[in-house]
A = this chain, B = another copy of it.
Amino acid sequence: MDRKIEDILKRNQLSVTSGRKKILELFLQQDGALAHNDIEKRAGEKFDRVTIYRTLQAFLEKGMIHSIPTSDNSIRYALCKDNCSEGHHHDDHVHFVCSACGNTVCLEGVMVPPIKLPNGFVVEQVEMLVSGVCKSCNMDV
Q: Which A residues contact B (CB, under 8 angstroms)?
A: 67, 69-71, 73-75, 94, 96, 99, 107, 109-110, 113, 115-136, 138-139
Given A120-B135, A121-B133, A126-B128; 20 other pairs, CB 8 A cutoff: A69-B71, A69-B73, A69-B129, A73-B73, A96-B117, A99-B124, A110-B116, A115-B128, A115-B130, A118-B135, A121-B130, A121-B132, A122-B132, A123-B130, A123-B131, A125-B131, A125-B132, A126-B129, A127-B130, A129-B129
B residues near A127, Cβ cutoff 8 Å: 71, 127-131
Shortest C-beta distance, A57 to chain B (Å), equals: 14
Residues of chain B within 8 A (CB-CB) of A71 are 67, 69, 127
Min C-beta distance of A83 to chain B, whole Å:
22
The distance from the CB of A72 to the nearest CB of chain B, in whole angstroms, is: 8
Provide the residues of chain B in CB contact with A138, threshold 8 Å.
Answer: 120-122
Minimal beta-carbon separation of A94 from chain B (angstroms): 7
CA distance A73 to B72 in the complex (A): 9
Q: How far is the CB of A1 from chain B (nearest CB, A)?
A: 28
Q: How far is the CB of A132 from chain B (nearest CB, A)?
A: 4
What residue in chain B is nearest A134 (Cβ atoms)?
B121
Cα of A129 to Cα of B95 in the assembled complex, Å: 12
